[in-house]
């Protein structure tokens, strides 16, 4: 089956949203097993499905958002596709997405629970939970710790991690992907567990990254479909070829992914620790509360460090853009040099004076949205949109990539042009207009809770890297993207050199 073999080749590790991949893939499995809608089918227009299989023909497996965009040109900004009798609605217009996923969020906030999720240990993660009290509980805890005013407290820590990032890139620029990974993971681990990772080769970060890779490999769509059709693969011994499909081993990896950093917290942090973190508070509450098991389990479950991948991918998109658009880089550097001079790094206080850097961050998110189709929502009730019936159990995808590359909204969308976010006199254009790219963080009640934390990492990392380094093309190449449900540039030839030829660790430390 070409679909399956193609999917099997798509083992991307560039995803924090393991959830998204697995949701998509296992959704298909569920389709073969059960019909879950209320009996009536979605009446929206869409491509004619094949009997039983649905719209597999014409599906772009490598970059489905591009195939969906082509379909939207024929069937409109909201259309229906079908897989094995299951309805999937695809929206390519932000206004419609806001109407359904934001304003009717009571009906559009569930997820499709995949059948093998529990077996492989993915079922606990917040992005996969259905619209239940457990999910609400997760969101409440996260909101407490990740809301906009709270994340301000993490800024000193984030700036410290940015310095470590610069030191690492200075010491071994070719390993910049690994350094970006360490940066993003260590910010999240500090926020969640109060864990201060080593600047390089931190054993816990390395362990978590390894476990994450295992989880993503086994959770890829191809593997999921294969196992769905042939459930015995779940039991294949780990020493046998294909042993990575062993469900018990994957479950164990998932357990370790959430429990190892938490174990560290239990062992190392005293109850009166002044280091604020979600995990620490969970532990304190657990000590006070007789029903501590629930509290600890909850904190463990929501503390997936997987989320760091989206930040890493965004920073890699930024590096690619800088390599391809040296003029943008030079203009950014001039702005930083004018506002901050060349002897210190930009800080959050400088941000209002650095509109071009802000514009680069926004353009990075628009030009290479790292979750190009968001995380699919599922309707928990029947609905009617402009006379068209959308049944309960319908999966709803917003084609974020298509919206971000709409030429009516963003002229010459394939070009990286931060100026589009600036007025003629160089001021930031308001983010509440058509130019907002907030949609890259999702919609309604499922909107990304880590958004403010992520923004607090992206801005200082981008500003500081621009202040210290120049990103150069190290050979001709055509950009390619690692694609699954998340998207990230494939490795490309790039040279990172300090702007100041005398730059070394001690000079950097003085900045």
Please report, in range form, the residues annotated as the binding site.
Answer: 448
Q: What is the contact mask toward ligand HEM in residues 374 to 403, using x (rule: CB under 6 A)?
A: xx-x--------------------------
Which one of the spans 220-228, 254-262, 370-378, 419-427 is the region binding ligand HEM (CB under 6 A)? 370-378
- Which of 450, 460, 484, 489 contacts ligand HEM by CB under 6 A? 450
Q: Is 213 helix (H, G, I), strand (E, B) or coil?
A: helix
The rounded distance, in Å, linking the Cα atoms of 73 and 89 is 15
Angle between helix 176-193 and helix 155-171 axes, rounded to 10 deg: 160
Under rule CB under 6 A, residue 123 binds ligand HEM: no
Q: Positive or negative, the Cα torsion across 54, 87, 69, 320? A: negative
The rounded distance, in Å, linking the Cα atoms of 321 and 316 is 9
For ligand HEM, the closer of residues 246 and 365 by Cβ is 365
Under rule CB under 6 A, residue 205 binds ligand HEM: no
- 3-state per-residue secondary structure call for 36-88: CCCCCCCCCCCCCCECCCECCCCCCCCCHHHHHHHHHHHHCCEEEEEECCEEE
Instruction: Report, in Å, the least distance between residue 289 CB and ligand HEM.
Output: 23
The rounded distance, in Å, linking the Cα atoms of 439 and 390 is 22
C-alpha Rg value of the chain to the nearest Å:
23
Q: Kindly state the DSSP code that residue 107 receives in the 8-state scheme.
A: T
Under rule CB under 6 A, residue 454 binds ligand HEM: yes
Q: What residues form DSSP beta bridges with 110?
A: 378
| Residue 115 · residue 30 · CB < 8 Å | yes
Count of residues of this chain found to bind ligand HEM when the rule CB under 6 A is applied: 25
- Which of 112, 116, 126, 253 contacts ligand HEM by CB under 6 A? 126
Instruction: Report, in Å, the least distance between residue 379 CB and ligand HEM.
Output: 13
The rounded distance, in Å, linking the Cα atoms of 511 and 506 is 9
Q: Is 388 helix (H, G, I), strand (E, B) or coil?
A: strand
Instruction: Report, in Å, the least distance between residue 410 CB and ligand HEM.
Output: 17
Backbone angles phi, psi at 109, to 5 degrees: -115, 15
* Residues 266-325 contacting ligand HEM, CB under 6 A: 307, 310-311, 314
- Which of 117, 449, 456, 484 contacts ligand HEM by CB under 6 A? 449
Under rule CB under 6 A, residue 446 binds ligand HEM: yes
- Which of 100, 440, 468, 494 contacts ligand HEM by CB under 6 A? 440
Instruction: Report, in Å, the least distance between residue 8 CB and ligand HEM.
Output: 25
For the annotated binding site for heme, the residues are 448
For ligand HEM, the closer of residues 49 and 418 by Cβ is 418
- Binding-site ranges for ligand HEM (CB under 6 A): 126-127, 139, 146, 188, 307, 310-311, 314, 370-371, 374-375, 377, 440-443, 446-450, 453-454
């Amino acid at each position: 089956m070409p679909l399956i073999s193609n999917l099997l080749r798509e083992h991307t590790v560039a995803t924090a949203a393991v959830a998204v991949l697995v949701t998509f893939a296992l959704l298909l499995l569920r389709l073969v097993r059960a019909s879950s809608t209320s009996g009536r089918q979605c009446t929206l227009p869409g491509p004619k499905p094949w009997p039983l299989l649905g719209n597999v023909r014409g599906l772009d497996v490598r970059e489905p958002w591009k195939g969906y965009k082509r379909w939207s040109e024929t069937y409109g900004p909201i259309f229906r596709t079908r897989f094995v009798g299951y309805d999937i609605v695809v929206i390519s217009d932000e206004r419609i997405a806001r109407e359904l996923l934001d304003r009717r969020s009571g009906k559009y906030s569930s997820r499709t629970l995949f059948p093998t999720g529990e077996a492989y240990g993915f079922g606990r993660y917040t992005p996969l939970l259905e619209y239940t009290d457990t999910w609400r509980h997760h969101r409440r805890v996260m909101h407490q710790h990740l809301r906009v005013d709270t994340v301000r407290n993490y800024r000193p820590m984030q700036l410290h991690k940015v310095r470590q990032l610069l030191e690492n890139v200075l010491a071994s620029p070719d390993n910049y992907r690994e350094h970006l990974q360490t940066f993003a993971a260590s910010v999240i681990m500090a926020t969640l567990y109060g864990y201060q990772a080593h600047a390089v080769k931190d054993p816990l970060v390395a362990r978590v990254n390894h476990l994450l890779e295992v989880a993503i490999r086994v959770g890829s769509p191809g593997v999921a479909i294969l196992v769905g059709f042939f459930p015995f693969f779940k039991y294949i011994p780990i020493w046998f070829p294909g042993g990575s499909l062993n469900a018990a081993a994957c479950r164990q990896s998932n357990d370790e992914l959430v429990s190892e950093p938490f174990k560290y917290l239990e062992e190392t942090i005293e109850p009166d620790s002044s280091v604020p973190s979600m995990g620490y508070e969970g532990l304190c509450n657990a000590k006070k509360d007789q029903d501590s098991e629930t509290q600890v389990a909850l904190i463990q479950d929501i503390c997936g460090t997987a989320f760091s991948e989206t930040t890493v991918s965004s920073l890699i998109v930024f590096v690619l853009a800088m390599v391809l658009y040296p003029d943008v880089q030079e203009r950014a550097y001039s702005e930083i040099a004018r506002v901050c001079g060349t002897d210190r790094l930009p800080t959050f206080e400088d941000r209002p004076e650095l509109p071009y850097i802000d514009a680069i961050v926004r353009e990075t998110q628009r030009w290479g949205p790292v979750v190009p189709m968001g995380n699919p929502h599922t309707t928990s009730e029947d609905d009617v949109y402009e006379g068209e019936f959308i049944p309960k159990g319908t999966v709803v995808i917003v084609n974020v990539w298509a919206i971000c590359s709409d030429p009516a909204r963003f002229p010459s969308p394939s070009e990286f042009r931060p100026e589009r976010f600036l007025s003629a006199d160089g001021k930031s254009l308001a983010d509440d207009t058509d130019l907002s790219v907030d949609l890259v963080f999702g919609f309604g009640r499922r909107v990304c809770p880590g958004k403010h934390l992520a923004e607090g990492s992206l801005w200082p990392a981008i500003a500081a890297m621009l202040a210290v380094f120049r990103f150069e093309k190290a050979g001709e190449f055509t950009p390619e993207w690692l694609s699954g449900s998340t998207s990230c540039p494939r490795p490309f030839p790039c040279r990172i050199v300090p702007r100041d030829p005398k730059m070394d660790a001690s000079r950097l430390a003085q900045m």
